[in-house]
Amino acid sequence: MSMKREGDGILITEGDQKVAFYAKEAPAMNLDKGRANYFHPVYLPDGTVITENAPEDHIHHRGIFWAWHQVLIDGTSIGDQWTLSDFIHDVKSVEFFRLPQGMAMMKTIVHWKSPKYAAGARPFVEEKATVSFFEQRRNYRIIQFRIQLRSQVNGLMLGGSDDSKGYGGFSARIDLPDDVRFSSEGKKVEPHKNAVQAGKYMNVSGSMAKNGHHGGVLIYSANSFDTSTQWILRNKESMQNAVWPGREPVALSKVTPLVLKYAVVLYTGRLNEKRVLKDLQKLEWD
């Protein structure tokens, strides 16, 4: 596993195989300064690009990302991280470590800023993320995300969309085929307008690999909060979202960081979910 600086970000590879690209800086295509701190392209083991970035239907969608509509200080909106309106991701540092047992780790520190707060001069949230990349096993690869958020101000709150959908949090904009299928715990899941209740993971599959072969993305939540089994799902022209916290905003502490824990499994062919879930349950989060 290795990384190298390339253009506006950092490319993660395993041997000569591309794994994912981290967007460290806003690229020239941007309409704003906030479009950074996300992963795109992300690749299936056969080299297929599985994510989309800035699609025409939702130009603010961006690969694998985490974001919220409601970013409030003392009840007043200071920006929309989801749509990148009045929002800046200031990536302060990126570190990369090769580790034993076939994995590598990226650590980032990102300051959340807005022209509506201190004219963009000071951060109101410090984000520390640890992203672990595991070498491919059989026909799948695991990427683990541990996202730590700590407020820098009093009265800071985060919330999903202020409607019945309440979407927000860890999300993936996936290139969906016509035969896309959603499943969790061995059962098919049907998308609805609002969040659906399912298991701790969501398997999004279909003819996603090269030449129309089967493949998919499994999103796993290792969290214990109330919405850990709620999912916003779409079968075309949208993202897939592991809901947190929902419509009602929650406070971020200046002392004790909030920690969000997710993993993504990228695979081609058919996935042995029992084997993969055993791997996911062995992941270390602290």
The alpha carbon dihedral of 11, 216, 135, 95 has a sign of positive
pLDDT of residue 33: 63
Tokens at 50, concatenated: 């599985």
Query: pTM of the prediction?
Result: 0.96
pLDDT of residue 243: 97
pLDDT of residue 49: 98
Tokens at 147, concatenated: 């996202």
pLDDT of residue 34: 77
Mapped onto helix, strand or coil, the DSSP state of residue 33 is coil
Q: Residue 147: phi, psi to the nearest 5?
A: -115, 120
pLDDT of residue 44: 98
pLDDT of residue 143: 98
31, 23 Cβ separation under 8 angstroms: no
Cα separation values, 38 from 57, 77, 271, Å: 19, 23, 26
pLDDT of residue 29: 53
pLDDT in tens, 146-198: 999 999 999 999 999 999 999 999 999 999 999 999 999 999 999 999 999 99
Residues with pLDDT less than 70, the chain: 27-33
The alpha carbon dihedral of 31, 238, 262, 124 has a sign of positive
pLDDT of residue 127: 98
DSSP H or E run through 278: helix 273-281
pLDDT of residue 102: 78
